Amino acid sequence: MKDIKVKVLRLGHRPGRDKRLTTHVGLVARAFGADEISLSKDDEKVKESIIDVTKRFGGNFKVEINDEWKQTMKNWKGDIYHLTMYGEKISSYEEKLKKRDKDVLIVLGAEKVPRIVYDLADYNISVTNQPHSEVAALAIFLDRLFDGKELNLDFDGEIKVIPQAEGKYIEKN
């Protein structure tokens, strides 16, 4: 499935308030098959949480701390998708996404996103034109990119959850 590189760029947000949300963004990026997330300096603790999950549950997901997000966008070789409720409907892009013919940078803002983000992005894409959640938008985007296959990834970790109709079953390697 990992025929291309997929990186998530989480733009600066209000310190303190959005740490849990940023952690969820990072965990979704990992669980849904992205390779890496870039966070801002304020997010060292978020980085630790995500790395801890990766250690226990497996995979090679990377967390970068980098405040130079404009450079990240300018230097990206591949397509840049900025997810925003104001953008074009993702349903118009499903065929293009499925092709996965270029590396993908997914840009996620918090509340106010500077105009330059819209300009530096190749595509401004909406997952519904309603206000909801960057966590959900990222999940749906990665689902369309990986065509549902991301839901059955095997991370080969120390801890492996074995699906159960009732209760919990974990294998430890």
Q: Which span sits near a second copy by CB under 8 A: 37-45, 72-80, 101-109, 158-166?
A: 158-166
Distance CA 156, CA 167 (A): 22
Structure tokens at 80: 């840049």
Closest by CA position to 145, among listed 36, 38, 9, 29: 29
Where in 50-69 is the site for a second copy (CB under 8 A)?
Answer: 53, 57
Q: Is 109 annotated as a binding residue?
A: yes
Q: Is 25 annotated as a binding residue?
A: no
Closest by CA position to 73, among listed 22, 38, 26: 38
Among 3, 165, 172, 173, which residue sits at the site for a second copy (rule: CB under 8 A)?
165
> How many H-runs (helices) and E-runs (strands) does the chain carry?
6, 8
Using an 8 Å Cβ cutoff, are 8 and 38 in contact? Answer: yes
Q: Which span sits near a second copy by CB under 8 A: 1-9, 35-43, 67-75, 122-130?
A: 122-130
Q: Which residues contact a second copy by CB under 8 A?
A: 17-18, 20-21, 24-25, 27-28, 30-32, 53, 57, 85-91, 115, 118-119, 123-124, 126-133, 135-136, 138-140, 143, 148, 150-153, 155, 160-169
